[in-house]
Chain A
Amino acid sequence: QKEVEQNSGPLSVPEGAIASLNCTYSDRGSQSFFWYRQYSGKSPELIMSIYSNGDKEDGRFTAQLNKASQYVSLLIRDSQPSDSATYLCAVINSGYALNFGKGTSLLVTP
């Protein structure tokens, strides 16, 4: 079983702080990595994709990938209460299927 692991949380951060979400994966052959945000009762919404080692920035979001250590992280700067949601890490190991972690619940407190 090719695993994607996330801390379920909840991760609580004050408004304006940096939220750091982490994900590890077991398959060294994984090639594509994604972060999705899912509000309660809604469907996942794509935030970021990353394919090569290093950082990728998009607005307040930064994805970081380290293939040697088999982890991918998401940083959210200047966190807002509207960022409160479950964040899903997804990996394509081989083939075409997204393999999801169980998600990390983020709570941004005013």
Chain B
Amino acid sequence: DAGVTQSPTHLIKTRGQQVTLRCSPKSGHDTVSWYQQALGQGPQFIFQYYEEEERQRGNFPDRFSGHQFPNYSSELNVNALLLGDSALYLCASSFGVASNIAEAFFGQGTRLTVV
């Protein structure tokens, strides 16, 4: 049973560029959430996708956008990268109908470095 998979694992981008991160949820899950984790901090919620719609959004600027595909996989896009966007980006999947109580499982993360 495949868990949550993310790609790529590491990425180096230049300030001002755009980046796309990808996530495939755990088998049987239909909801994908994205989190940003800076060094020494807990993960911060970016947004959640359910039924191909953004269901909830955290306190992140519009430079952060996403998409969910019919097969439940998801992409996170960040435009106009800033040095402060350097972080570990985590994808978590859960079962959507009860996502306010459901356990969420994380992928291995994408380490983004902006130079």
Enumerate chain A interface residues (CB-CB to B < 8 A): 4, 31-32, 34, 36, 42-46, 49, 51, 88, 90, 92, 94-103
Closest-by-CB residue of B relative to A8 is B40
Which A-B residue pairs are the 6 nearest by beta carbons? A100-B42, A97-B45, A96-B99, A43-B106, A43-B109, A32-B101
Known contacts: A97-B48, A97-B58, A98-B33. The answer to whether A43 contacts B108 by CB under 8 A is yes
Q: When the two chains form their complex, are residues A101 and B100 in contact, meaning their CB atoms are under 8 A apart? A: no
In the assembled complex, 6 residue pairs joining A and B whose CB atoms fall closer than 8 Å, in A order, are A43-B107, A43-B109, A44-B90, A51-B101, A97-B45, A100-B44
Whole-angstrom distance between the alpha carbons of A96 and B109 in the complex?
A: 20
Q: Which of A31, A49, A97 has the most CB of B within 10 A?
A: A97
Known contacts: A44-B106, A45-B106, A102-B40. The answer to whether A96 contacts B90 by CB under 8 A is no
Q: When the two chains form their complex, are residues B99 and A49 in contact, meaning their CB atoms are under 8 A apart? A: no
Interchain pairs with CB closer than 8 A, number: 62
Closest-by-CB residue of B relative to A105 is B40
Q: Which of B40, B48, B55, B100 has the most CB of A within 10 A?
A: B100
Q: A4-B42, A97-B48, A100-B43 are in contact. List 11 more A-B contacts (CB 8 A).
A: A31-B101, A42-B109, A44-B106, A45-B106, A90-B42, A97-B45, A98-B33, A98-B35, A98-B45, A100-B42, A103-B42
Q: Which of A46, A97, A103 contacts B105 (CB 8 A)?
A: A46
B112 within 8 A of partner (CB): no
Which interface class (under 10, 10 to 19, 20 to 34, 35 or more) fits B?
20 to 34
B104 within 8 A of partner (CB): yes
Whole-angstrom distance between the alpha carbons of A97 and B48 in the complex?
A: 8
B1 within 8 A of partner (CB): no
Whole-angstrom distance between the alpha carbons of A75 and B47 in the complex?
A: 31
